[in-house]
Structures are given as structure tokens and as C-alpha cells.
Amino acid sequence: MFEFLLSKQFVVVLGPAGSGKTTLVGSYGRWLESRGVKVGYVNLDPGADYLPYKPDFDIRKYIRVTDVMKKYNLGPNGAFIKSADLMLELGDQIYRELVRIPSDYVLVDTPGQMELFVFRENGPELLGILKRIGFPVAIVVFDPLLAKKPSDLVALKLMATVIQLRLDVDSIPILNKADVEISDEVARSLEEELVLMEALSREAGVRADLAQSLVQVMDDYRQATRLVRVSALSGSGFDELYDIIHEVYCNCGDLT
């Protein structure tokens, strides 16, 4: 049996389209449930066609991208932007429904258009609602195909840091799809920061120099610095993912 927070513990899952974040919400939730955790599920993606979990709160009850397209005569991109703005008007309703979720551990699935959630006002506003109820932490999911060399790992960690800055919430970068092959150098760089720094020293150009400097800055300002590798399909890496989330809550949350 895992330890629990006295108030709700929110794990907000973000990631670009195709990173597998919705699949991760479903599989990580089932993994937690199999270990005795009562999990709640929240869907904040108004464009989702299918969810591999049963949401306790579903934004599609109020907003669907297809309906917004028809009502406002918008294309897909415009409809997603409008949907994001409409969420702001539902703040009180969202708060009332999230408070009633009968689980202390809640997984929050966010829109595939990550930039809309992070850089428009609905994302910070919704995180503000979660903070009124409990303690949120963000998981930032990336595709390993974006990590072909060590400096790519730094770029992914930097994006997680930007999300932390924008949403004012601790963020944990992870590589999903652990079955996808990555280079030995990248794999070793995931395990140890010293190996990452040595690998960066062998990369040529300004990009590598900048990456080395950013690693130090991120270490100074982020709670969780190691980059976890998981598989939403097989469940590999979920033990480590849980541990690092738990570390963040131990540092900032109210654990029993």
C-alpha cells in the first residue's frame, strides 16, 4: 500500500500530440489501482475521441471541439483555441466537480495541443483550481524519437522547466515508449548527469556549450532533474516514475 496525501494529489500529464500521454494516464492509473491506490481521472481535452479510462470529470460534458467548430464556424485550430478560452468561463463548475471526486490521487489528462494549455490563460487558471483543492505536480511526456543525442535530452528538460515556470508547478520530464531503441550514449546520459555532461563536452558547436550551461541552471531551480524512461504499453518504469513523483511530494507536499 502506498502513502497518501492529506489533501488531493494531482498528477497533471502534459505532452505534445503523439507522445502517448492519454495512454499513459490509463495504464499508469491501472498500475496504481493494482497496488491499492484509489485513483480519480480527469479529462481536460475537449477534442478527445477515445479515452482508455473512465473519467470522473470530463470537459467534453461542457465543451467539444466538434461542437465549437459548428457553433462558431471555425476550423480545427481555431476551435481548439476557442475551446481553451471557453474553459476559463467554467472555473467555478470545474472546481465544484473536482472537489467531489472521491479519490485522493487524481490523474489529469490535458489537451494534445500542449502549447494551448501551457501558453494560454486556461492552463495556469486550471492549475490554480487544482492548488485550491490539493497539490499538483506535472509529468511532461516526450517521444524518444526526439532524443537522438544528449543535447536533445537537455532540450526536453528545458521544455519541462519552461512548463514549470509558466504553470508554477513542479514538472517531471519523462520519455515514453521505452521499447523504442535509443543510442547507448543517450541511454547512459539518462542514468547519470556526469555521463550527460561528458557527452555534451564531445558535441561540437554553440548548441552543446549552451546545453551544458542550461543543465547547471536547471539543476539549481528544478526539484526533479533526472529524466525517467517508461512505457505506457508495458508499464515498465512506473516504479521509478512513482518514486520520483513521491520525492516531489515529500519535498513540497504534506505526506502522512
CA distance linking residue 43 with residue 107, whole number of Å: 9
Which stretch of 93-97, 111-115, 166-170 has the lowest confidence by average pLDDT? 111-115
**Per-residue model confidence (pLDDT) at position 221:** 63
Query: Alpha helix locations (H) across the chain?
Result: 21-33, 65-72, 76-88, 91-99, 114-119, 122-133, 150-167, 184-191, 193-202, 206-221, 238-252
Residue with the bigger pLDDT between 6 and 87: it is 87
Give domain status of residue 251, yes or no. no
Give domain status of residue 256, yes or no. no
Give domain status of residue 105, yes or no. yes
The cell 501551457 sits on which residue? 118
Return the amino acid letter for 119.
F
CATH of the domain at 223: 3.40.50.300
Kindly report, residue by residue over 193-227, the tens digit of the pLDDT: 777 777 777 777 777 777 777 777 777 665 555 67
- pTM equals 0.86
Give domain status of residue 151, yes or no. yes
Which stretch of 28-37, 68-77, 99-108, 113-122 has the lowest confidence by average pLDDT? 113-122
Give domain status of residue 252, yes or no. no
Q: In what order do the strands lie in the sheet with 171-175?
A: 57-58, 39-43, 105-109, 8-14, 134-142, 171-175, 228-229
Kindly report, residue by residue over 84-102, the tens digit of the pLDDT: 999 999 999 999 999 999 9
Mean pLDDT calculated for residue range 173-179:
85
- The CA–CA distances, whole Å, from 46 to 76, 141, 150, 209, 256 equal 12, 19, 35, 41, 35
Assign 174 to helix, strand or coil: strand
Q: How confident is the model at residue 3 (pLDDT cuts 50, 70, 90)?
A: very low
CA nearest to 11, candidates 135, 154, 184:
135
Do residues 48 and 54 touch, judged by C-beta distance below 8 A? no
Residue with the bigger pLDDT between 244 and 5: it is 244
Residue 42 structural domain: 8-238
Q: How confident is the model at residue 191 (pLDDT cuts 50, 70, 90)?
A: low
Give domain status of residue 30, yes or no. yes
**CA-CA-CA-CA torsion sign (27, 28, 34, 37):** negative
Mean pLDDT, rounded, of the chain? 86
Do residues 175 and 126 touch, judged by C-beta distance below 8 A? no
How many folded domains does the chain comprise? Answer: 1
Give domain status of residue 248, yes or no. no
Mean pLDDT calculated for residue range 232-252:
87
Give domain status of residue 218, yes or no. yes
**Per-residue model confidence (pLDDT) at position 247:** 86
